[in-house]
Amino acid sequence: MSVSGLYENTDRSNGNWNDMETYLSGLYNDSTYSIEFQKLAFGYLNLCKRKQSKFAEAIANYESVILNDPTYNDSVYAVIDIGNTYEEAGNYKSTLGQLSYLVPVSRVRHVEKTVDLLLSLKTEEIKPVIEQKGFTLGQNYPNPFDNTTIIKYSVPYRCRISFDILDVLGRNVKKQNEGIKTKGEQTISVDLSGFSSGVYYYVLKADDKVAGVRKMVVK
């Protein structure tokens, strides 16, 4: 029986959610399975936790996705799952996670954000456009985010680095100069406090030439 089938069978028969959680945890931590299968087990594992009112544990697991350089799609679903878990928990204070800005302001606002995030998935995710050989540009994390986010990148030689933040119309809404960087991996923090919610693009420039472009989402 499939993972989803086992979950649904447990739900219909009022089965033992703790046993189901233990079983799914084993699947999730078994590296012989594919990454996609492990993600599936992870999703149902956290649903089991929510069935047992282990809301804080589920929220911590979803937050771990956001904080560990996820794909855009994975981060969107994690944000939605966190909001759903808070809604189920009711008592926000007892289950407040590390990313407190993801606590829904209201149920209506949570539904609106969920719709916006799901609609954003309909637009094909922009893969990192690398325009200069040897550069790498990572996906920002958390993503989506509220105020600040982290971007990792690497440069193949000593150069002057800057980042441009563009809105969906291509307008430059922020420029961040990082100065001279030596060869190797680098990390920056970008603060977009006060920016409107929506999709933005960050552009890595080396010596004023575009080296890479990626998409990010402000909550």
114 and 23 share one domain:
yes
135 and 80 share one domain:
no
Does residue 144 have a cis bond before it (omega within 30 degrees)? yes
Q: How confident is the model at residue 46 (pLDDT cuts 50, 70, 90)?
A: very high
Q: Name the domain count of the chain.
A: 2
14 and 114 share one domain:
yes
116 and 133 share one domain:
no
- Phi-psi sector, 162: left (phi>0), alpha (psi -120 to 50), beta: beta
Whether the CB-CB separation of 58 and 51 falls below 8 Å is answered with: no
113 and 63 share one domain:
yes
Q: What is the pTM of this model?
A: 0.60
CA quadruple 85, 46, 73, 97: dihedral positive or negative? positive
Residue 69 has pLDDT above 80, yes or no: no
For residues 123-146, average pLDDT: 75
65 and 136 share one domain:
no
Could you say which of 100, 120, 140 is where a domain stops?
A: 120
Percent residues over pLDDT 90 in the chain: 39
116 and 142 share one domain:
no
Q: Which residue range(s) make up the domain with 19?
A: 3-120
| Cβ count near 158 (within 10 Å) | 12
Q: Can you give the pLDDT at residue 166?
A: 85
Q: Can you give the pLDDT at residue 14?
A: 79
Residue 85, amino acid:
T
Q: Which of the two residues, 69 and 164, has the higher pLDDT score? A: 164
Look up residue 40 and give its two tokens.
Answer: 């599936």
Query: 44-48, 97-101, 120-124, 165-169: lowest mean pLDDT where?
Result: 120-124
150 and 198 share one domain:
yes
73 and 140 share one domain:
no
110 and 163 share one domain:
no
| Residues in a beta bridge with 163 | 176, 204
168 closest CA partner among 200, 203, 214, 139: 200
199 closest CA partner among 217, 214, 213: 217
